[in-house]
Amino acid sequence: EYGFLLGSAAFGAAVGMGIDALTSSISIDYFVLGKGVAAGPGLGGRIALLGARAGTSAGVIAAAVLLIANPVPRDALRMWRCVPLVLLGALVGGAGLGLIQVGTGWPEIESLRGVLPEDRARHFESVWALHLGIYGGAILGLIVATLRWRRRYTPADGADGIESR
């Protein structure tokens, strides 16, 4: 169980760093203005650290939810099968909301219009929407993974003292 928790934290950190590296290439303003990352030398490293922190937190929370929902203690190794669903949810959610924002302009942050030129404001909004979609999609993926896991691996009634459904 501890290995699953630590592995999920490390995996989440790597994913968070990758996402923030990609999205910072679309809008650096999102990180400087929106997240308060100090501009200047070393900005890329500070963005990577922010991504690692966010990803670690997400990985630990997701792993904790899966461990709590696990009907079969001592079966944490098989729980890695749930990770692709969570990751898929995050990717679909991020891409989906990001594409909706690019295509329609929604969601829009009106207060950016006086601060940034129009093109930079749109890039900021796209990255913001992408991040929102990633978190929302990961939550939905986690729910689906948890439900599938419990349905598939819940022992028969009475086995190990656990009642199914």
Our count of domains for the chain comes to 1
pLDDT above 50: residue 163: no
| Global pTM value | 0.87
Which tops the pLDDT comparison, 65 or 74? 65
Q: What is the pLDDT of residues 75-131, one digit of tens each?
A: 777 888 899 999 999 999 999 999 999 999 998 999 998 899 999 999 999 999 999
**pLDDT score of 156:** 61
Q: Which domain holds residue 48?
A: 2-161
User: Do 147 and 86 contact (CB within 8 A), yes or no?
Assistant: no
Cis peptide before 73 (omega within 30 of 0): no
Query: Taking the chain, what is the end-to-end CA distance rounded to the nearest angstrom?
Result: 23
> Could you give the percent of the chain with pLDDT greater than 70?
91
Looking at 21-25, 66-70, 122-126, which range is the least confident one?
66-70
pLDDT above 70: residue 24: yes
